[in-house]
Amino acid sequence: MNRYQEEYNRKKMSARQVLENIQSRDFVFTPMAASCPDALMGELQHLKDTGVKDVILQSCIPSVDYPVFHDPEMKAVMAHHGWFFTAGLRKANAQRLVSAVPQHSTSILRKTLDRIRYEGRRPVLLTTVSPMDARGYMSLSISSIYEMDVVRAGAVLLVEVNPNYPRTFGDTMVHISQVTALVESDRPILCVDPAPYTEVDATIGKYVASLVEDGSTIQLGIGNIPNAVANELKSKKHLGIHTEMFTETMVDLIECGAVDNTQKGFNDGVSICSFTMGSRRLYDFLDDNPMVLFKSSTYSNDPYTIGRNNKFVSINATLEMDLTGQAASESVGPVQFSGSGGQAETIQGAQMSPGGKSILAMHSTYTDRDGKLHSKIVPMLTPGAAVTTSRNDVDYVVTEYGIAWLRGLTIAERVQALTKIAHPDFRAWLLEEAEKNHIW
């Protein structure tokens, strides 16, 4: 037995014993999405028994709706800060058990660490890692979006070691000497198969793909529309990947030869991302794959870093857009729905890229619970809606009715362009409202 294994064995304990390393006034970071350590998260309510107080818990798209998020007794122990909401966190928000943190991916950690230092708190990271290698290293696996930056800030590192998680490269390797305590788990990794898409999604995908030239570097998100876009990109040549989230569809693009990362002009030969979530096939593709590098969002989402890629194309979704081009992508009125993520930063980065473009895609309408149809392009945003992307930054907007290129257009020209890609049933109304409200 080597010395690393001896140290590993000394630090191995039960989930509750691991959590007993948390002290009053600690700031506890949890990792992105499916990196959440189930054994530890499932026992967090044990903190009620340890006597700690005034703890802050941070979450970001937790892939499981853990009981701790909905336990009102935990309010006496900790406050819950949500960086990006899920359906479970929206419910917890309605119960006033979590509060959203407005943020951009590149700056949220720096701002949070500033707060921690100012308040005299201690950073703690709970996360999942792949098994230790012979040299004592474990991989942060499927997310390094902020986790490695937290480690480098001197956080108390409490990990769940799971052999079902892939070993990835980039800013991912932590050493057993950095770990305070660990628990072992063999729970299955959360697998999510690609979402099927509709004919409307496919139409939007064709429009978006028509804007992507050969040799472009792409950023895609998850969901029906990005899946449809990726399907239409299979005929492209020499694409590159520099993205926040590495998706299942990117595996398809690499394997069909559309992506070869040869013409990025920056980080040629490798795909850059910050986190991933998907199917077992995706995780197997990433396991021990040195051609995909996981980097902190302070790097991957930094507009200046993005701008070093040739013909960078940012492809994102939005929930609502007004006739001047303001995009609300994270809230429904004042109610938090998700989060800003890296949308604004990738859009700004596209502006700095030689030949870069940014695209916001959406269905033209949605149907409410009563079956009534509503336009997603509106005269003015719903009162209280958070503006995720400024009208100063918006570039291309795509619906199933076409493409509006807003770059450099006046307000009056934007009203006309956006009305043309709205659902036909709402076009006259949009023009009437624009006139009535002196929008143009």
From the list 83, 77, 79, 48, the residue with the least C-alpha distance to 62 is 83
Calculate the CA 60 to chain-centre distance.
8
From the list 262, 268, 346, the residue with the least C-alpha distance to 312 is 346
Structure tokens at 308: 């070093």
Whose structure tokens read 């769940």?
160
Among the listed residues 43, 160, 244, 320, the single catalytic one is 244
DSSP secondary structure code for residue 366 in this structure: E
Beta carbons within 10 angstroms of residue 134's beta carbon: 8
From the list 137, 123, 143, the residue with the least C-alpha distance to 35 is 143
Beta carbons within 10 angstroms of residue 370's beta carbon: 5
Active site includes 244?
A: yes
d(Cα 211, Cα 307) in Å, to the nearest integer?
18
Contact indicator for 345, 306 with CB cutoff of 8 Å: yes
Which CA distances in Å does 46 have to 21, 73, 123, 180? Answer: 12, 11, 19, 18
d(Cα 434, Cα 436) in Å, to the nearest integer?
6
* Residues tagged active-site: 244
